[in-house]
Structure 1
Amino acid sequence: MKFMKWQSLLVVMIVLAGILSACGSSNQGNEKKPAENNGNKQATEQDSGKKVTISVATNVVGEQAKVLQAIADNFMKENPTIKVDFSAPGKDYENMMKIKMASNDLPDVFSTHGWAKLRYGQYLADLKDEAWVATLDEAIKPAVTDDAGKVYVLPMDQDKSGIVYNKDVLEKYNIAIPQTYAQLMEAAETITKESGGAVAPFHMGGSDNWPVGQYFDYFANPLYISAAQNQSAQLLDGSFDWSNWDQFAEMFADLHKKGYLNKDVLTAKYNDDAKALAEGKTAFLFYGAYAIEEAKKINPELHAGFMPIPSIVEGDTPTFVGGEKTTWGVSKDSKNIEAAKKFVAYFAKPENAQLVAVSNALPSGIKGTAVDAGDLSTYYEQYKDIRVLPYFDRVFLPNGMWDVMCKNGQDLISGGITVKQFSENMEKEYNRLRAAAVK
């Protein structure tokens, strides 16, 4: 009996093997046809009607990341054969992407956080043939395209960052909008003294690292770049005298020494900055208008304003920093490149681009997309003629210097290094990374 059972089982297994073999042969034949018909050598699972998964990663955090996630969820509902593996790792994003670039294992779709051309350009597929390219706003085109016509990413909005402030705090202490850095420091001194330390003139989520870098990226332009006589050429050709950084490092150290920063600067996070603004515990934040939107989630009655970055050099004028903000690029080596492009195109729809731009309270990167920035619209109109310069590190520092700037800023105010050591570290890493880039 046992022999008969095993014999029967063996027959069943042989039959199943034959069926599976036939199915496998049939599927292979079907999978070849789409590639032969459309000339695409990299046929994807989607070509055969099967479900594919695309990896999507963004540097965006907070409420803005939730908006991107919500749009991605809607995309999956409308495209059931495409699953989106969405990731928003926050402060770990840049290091994660460096590892992935080194191993050539980038996500199918990823944000370029200001570095579409300079850092990620060689890894990105050219999107020039996508239908949405014709709808790109002229103002953002130079940041995401090149002279050869390559389109690197979809820009859903356009960065225009300055300083946000709590209007009630400024009114309480009779502070006028500062036009120069000296006036900004005078305002900080007034607020510190008259509030008895209860209000921090500047709030910085230093434990998140990047808010520290924001200070240097903001004020490097007025210190070194925006004035008529500037040091842009020296920074570009490598001849910059890094002892000049001593002044900059000292300016930042003074914020901490004089009590102008929140006492918990080294343990606070970015979310704490928005909370402090919402609760009237700080006057100024070194962020774009998106920080106001974050704060209004906590206090809808917040009265906040937006101003340019004050000048530093005598005779110069205030400026903004800007360029690309929220973007999606497609890896040129994606195994599901058509699905990835379809995902990006979904975000280019006016209604979706609008959601992203509104979440950041910024102008859209898509023409004809109306963005109601609420009270902020008044400021955008008021300052429409103010110069918008690229972020300092994106133009004048080699790839990798952002982390150096952030970490050394943290170390400076924690007492781990001196002003001189900060400058020396910047020079050392600047030269090393420039040399590596040439190789």
Structure 2
Amino acid sequence: MKSRFALVGAAAVVALSLAACGGGGQGAGSNTLEVQTGVAADTNEMAALKAIAADFEKANPNTKLNLVPAGTNYENDIKVRLSSNNIPDIWMTHGWSLLRYSKFLTPLQNEPWAKNLVPELDPVMKDASGALYAMPTNVDITGIMYNKDVLAKAGYKPEDIKTWDDFMSAAEKAKANGVSAVYAGGKSMAGTILDHVISGAFTQNGLDQMKSGTFVADPYGQALNLVGKWRDAGLFNPDYSSATKTDMSKALAQGQALFEFGPSPIADDAIKYNPNAHIGFIPIPTLTGAPSYLDTGERTAYGVSKTSKDVSGAKAFLAFLAKPENETKMAAASASLPGLTDAKSTPGPLSSSYDEYVTQKKTQTVPYFDRVYLPNGAWSTMGNGTDAVITKQSDVNSAVQQMASTYKSLYGQGK
């Protein structure tokens, strides 16, 4: 899912630059590769990455890896590094290897592992010519996460939720049982809600127009109206404005939430708070009457800078990371499916949902809306507008007009 990191001040940028000193990029020795990991220091993904990096260094004693953990401002910091031409050898592209970073990255489609890219990632990671710019350690495939026990107490089964009316009925029952029907982690997660819902508001013709430079307002407004309907029904958690992504995990784990919109690690973290929690996801209904779907996209993926002093060494590390056993470890650490087809899926809190909806039912997947149909830079407007609707600081029409203006401005810049 696209990174939802908040933009912060210059002090954090300086901290990242200092962390990079002694690493690779523009100022390091040719035998040291700087890897901007894009993951926090205390995560399972970082632990797995460190272990794999140590194995790589043993097998390649002339190459050292400087793994730099992410702060809360990762996206902004990478922008600063790129604009100042102080570019890491390898960096995590947080969903934007193609549309935002491809001009800085070495093409990787001819690497041996590239033939194993999972098909769901083709639309968002390959360009029209088939060029690929990053190696994914996982793929984000998700729908609406839910607590199975809370849904059952409300008198519903997962298969009962076929339409948004079904969703509302179950949500209202959960609310009557004293549960937050739709739990969200404040402003930083507001855009994620709309990003999940909005693809189901557009027809294919509308999506084609959005992709070609014409903003289609009506379906965008319909998706926001749906969110406003949930607000008016009192379905959001009372502490919405102060809640965090960690609070989302806790609420899901402790049976205080029915539905949540967010990336799969929320479910993985939930199990830490309650190992006995029963969590899954269901496909996302549409507003057009089309079949339900799942969202998919690039999540943790690593690209190699064109300006690295050791492109071959950086490619060698990605090839090592792409080994089936290592890809399997990285995917398991993020509670996600592997990004390459020769790796194995491992059990996790969402395994049964993956098996049912992805493997067995082969539910259609669609790319995250913002990564394909909105220009680079529009994510903050999407999040701010959704948050403003939820908190009643703005009406739907104003939020739509703000996005229309942002779309027109940024799309023009991109051209």
Greater mean alpha carbon deviation, residues 98-107 or residues 290-299: 98-107
Deviations 1:358-395 (A, max 9, x none): 23333322233221235644322322321101111111
Task: List runs of 5+ in structure 1 lacking aligned partners.
Answer: 1-41
Cα distance in structure 1, aligned partners of 2:375 and 2:121 = 23
Cα distance in structure 2, aligned partners of 1:138 and 1:194 = 41
Q: Residues 17-416 of structure 1: matches in 2 within 5 Å? A: 45-46=29-30, 52-58=32-38, 62-72=43-53, 74-76=55-57, 79=60, 81-90=63-72, 92-141=73-122, 143-177=124-158, 178-195=161-178, 199-207=179-187, 209=188, 211-225=189-203, 230-242=205-217, 244-314=219-289, 316-374=290-348, 376-384=350-358, 385-416=362-393
Q: CA deviation at 1:298?
A: 1.4
Which structure dedicates a bigger proportion of its chain to helix? 1
Classify 1:88/1:68 alpha carbon distance in 2 versus 1 (closer, same or farther; 3 Å). farther
Q: CA deviation at 1:194?
A: 2.8
Q: CA deviation at 1:257?
A: 3.4
Deviations 1:52-91 (A, max 9, x none): 241423167954444334544554565554131412224x
Deviations 1:97-154 (A, max 9, x none): 3333333333221122222211111111122443433444455445433454533111
Q: CA deviation at 1:246?
A: 3.3
Q: Give the 3-state SS of the residue equivalent to 1:179 in structure 2.
A: coil
Classify 1:416/1:73 alpha carbon distance in 2 versus 1 (closer, same or farther; 3 Å). farther
Paired residues of 1:76 and 1:84 also in contact (CA < 8 A) = no
Greater mean alpha carbon deviation, residues 246-255 or residues 352-361: 246-255
AA aligned opposite 1:233:
D
Deviations 1:382-411 (A, max 9, x none): 223211011111111111111111122223
Task: Flag the structure with larger Rg.
Answer: 1
Greater mean alpha carbon deviation, residues 415-424 or residues 351-360: 415-424
Q: Give the 3-state SS of the residue equivalent to 1:284 in structure 2.
A: strand
Cα distance in structure 1, aligned partners of 2:296 and 2:397 = 30
Paired residues of 2:332 and 2:348 also in contact (CA < 8 A) = no
Cα distance in structure 1, aligned partners of 2:278 and 2:229 = 28
Paired residues of 2:90 and 2:304 also in contact (CA < 8 A) = yes
Q: Give the 3-state SS of the residue equivalent to 2:202 in structure 1.
A: helix
Paired residues of 2:285 and 2:291 also in contact (CA < 8 A) = yes
Task: List runs of 5+ in structure 2 lacking aligned partners.
Answer: 1-25
CA RMSD for the aligned pairs?
2.7
Paired residues of 1:162 and 1:288 also in contact (CA < 8 A) = no
Paired residues of 2:91 and 2:304 also in contact (CA < 8 A) = yes
Cα distance in structure 1, aligned partners of 2:275 and 2:307 = 45
